Amino acid sequence: MGFYEDRILPHLVNKACATGQVMKLRSQLVPKARGQVLEVGMGSGLNLAFYRSDRTEFVYGLEPSAGMRRKASRNLANSPVPVEWLDLPGEEIPLPDNSVDTVLLTFTLCTIPDWRKALEQMKRVLKPDGELLFLEHGESPDPKVCTWQHRITPGWRKVAGGCHLNRPIADLIQQAGFEIRELSTFYMPNAPKIAGFIYQGRAGIPKHEGGHKFPEE
């Protein structure tokens, strides 16, 4: 890993992912996590403040970037729930099958090189009655915006840690075998449209696979 990826990129990503609007969206989703949680792409721990200690027992924080893990020290110190680092990429989740109640994805799926393998791993470790909570930016339904997303992504990936502007997040989740149970899509206020189309929702393992009822709020 070079100096840019280890020292500069973590600072830029942390700043971009901690704006007021982004933190508001995090605060709406993260408290829904329950039980044993796997957070994929924990980064600098921006979500930690929003976990509810009365619902969440423990968080596995999957984060391959040493630079991001260093930036997380303050958030870890103030975390309301216990956290254990897993310093591997999303394609290599070192947990047993059916071992977590919640998988949390926030602004992470855009950067994982092999999104299919990563989502399959998340499905593997999720309990049959568990939930995948997601908050991601991705491909816009607006043809003009989408065209620019596809044009810009090859160069954008090189300076933004592998971030793809043009991934159809809901489609990818479904292609990996999840069933989407709740989905909201919208443009984030005050953000460039090419990077600000948001997918927010919940998914689970189809009932015919898991045989368990999906939990209600």
What pLDDT does 181 receive? 97
Say which residue, 125 or 14, is predicted with more confidence: 125
**Banded model confidence at residue 15, pLDDT cuts 50, 70, 90:** confident
Q: Model-level pTM?
A: 0.92
Mean pLDDT of 9-24: 81
On the question of pLDDT at 68 being above 60, the answer is yes
> Distance between CA atoms of 202 and 135, rounded to whole angstroms?
9
Mean pLDDT of 138-161: 96
Could you read off the pLDDT of 186-199 as tens digits, one per residue? 999 989 999 999 99
What pLDDT does 208 receive? 80
Query: Would strands 179-187 and 197-204 be described as parallel, antiparallel, or unpaired?
Result: antiparallel
Mean pLDDT of 121-149: 98
Q: Quick one: tokens of 67?
A: 């630079």
Q: Which CATH class is domain 3-210?
A: alpha beta
Q: Are 135 and 29 in contact (CB under 8 A)?
A: yes
On the question of pLDDT at 156 being above 60, the answer is yes
What pLDDT does 213 receive? 41
Residue 201 pairs with which residues in a beta bridge?
134, 183
Share of the chain above pLDDT 90, in %: 76
